[in-house]
Amino acid sequence: MPETTTCACGGTVTEEQMSKQLDAVLAEYKSKPGALIPVLQTAQTMFGYLPDPVVRKIARELDKSYSEVAGVVGFYSFFSRYPRGAYLVRVCLGTACYVRGGNEVLSAMKKALGIDIGQTTPDRVFSLDIGRCFGACGLAPVIMVNQDVHQRVKPAKVGDILALYRAKSKEEIHK
């Protein structure tokens, strides 16, 4: 177990800090039925991803097996076991987006970022994932960058979109 873990924001938190933050969440949900997914979601938002010690702790505290919790973490693409970039780019490959060129957008994105699905750029700015319908089929093809929706994306425009966020991330660092 590593003593320190890198958070999505690029900073580091110790395992002890992580554990404390998690305790509060677990205390809130522990006695409620169906607690697992909300706890995982909250933990994912807190840490940016679900480090292994966190998954194990959640399993223990909610009286579930590690294998079961791992199964849930692995099932939903929303959950990640590895640190993600500051911006999560999700390219929709739902039916509507797919027929309107979602796959080409994905290829362009992979090329522009130099990473594959599920990976993070070395500078920790971007992570790439695919989505299965964001409910915006009329705007297909769609990508989401964190909470922002970009509509009718053309493969050639992928670079412009990324530049926007790259600039933003530089601002963040300067702040």
Partner 1 sequence: MAAITINNTPLTVPDNISILAAAKLAGVRIPTLCFLEGLDAIGACRICVVEVEGAKNLVASCSVPVTDGMKIKTNSGRVREARRTVMELLLSEHDGDCQTCERNEDCELQKIASDLGIKSVRYEGQKTAAHLDTSTPGIVRNNGKCIKCRRCVAVCNITQRVGALFPQARGFKTVIGPAFDSDLAGVTCVQCGQCAAVCPVGAIVEQSHVQRVWDALENPKKTVVVQTAPAVRAALGECFGFEPGTLVTGKMVSALRRLGFATVFDTNFTADLTIIEEGTELLTRLKTAILDKEPVALPQFTSCSPGWIKFVEHFYPELIPNLSTCKSPQQMFGALAKTYWAQKVGKKPEEIFVVSVMPCTAKKFEAQRPEMNDSGAQDVDAVLTTRELGRMIKQAGIDFAALPDDNFDRVMGVSSGAGDIFANTGGVMEAALRTAYEIVTGRPLPFDKLHVEPIAGLEGIKEAQLTITGTVPEWSFLENVTLSVAVSHGLGNAEKVIERITTGKASYHFVEIMTCPGGCIGGGGQPRLTDDAKRKQRIKAIYKEDENKKLRKSHDNPKIKQVYGEFLKIPLGEKSHHLLHTTYTVRERV
The residues that touch partner 1, with contacts defined as CB under 8 A, are: 55-56, 60, 64-71, 73-75, 81
Which residues neighbour 148 within 8 Å (Cβ) at sequence distance 6 or greater? none
Q: Smallest gap, in angstroms, from Cβ of residue 159 to partner 1?
A: 31
Cβ atoms of 117 and 128 within 8 Å: the answer is: yes
Cβ atoms of 83 and 6 within 8 Å: the answer is: yes
CB of 75 or CB of 122, closer to partner 1: 75
Cβ atoms of 43 and 25 within 8 Å: the answer is: yes
CB of 12 or CB of 65, closer to partner 1: 65
Q: In terms of Cα–Cα distance, which of 16, 10, 20, 23 is closest to 49?
A: 10
CB of 63 or CB of 171, closer to partner 1: 63
Q: Smallest gap, in angstroms, from Cβ of residue 67 to partner 1?
A: 4
CB of 19 or CB of 169, closer to partner 1: 19
Q: Smallest gap, in angstroms, from Cβ of residue 30 to partner 1?
A: 17
CB of 73 or CB of 106, closer to partner 1: 73
Q: Smallest gap, in angstroms, from Cβ of residue 54 to partner 1?
A: 13
- Quick one: CA dihedral 164, 173, 16, 51, positive or negative? positive
Q: Smallest gap, in angstroms, from Cβ of residue 39 to partner 1?
A: 17
Pure H helices in the chain: 15-29, 36-47, 52-61, 66-75, 95-99, 102-113, 158-174
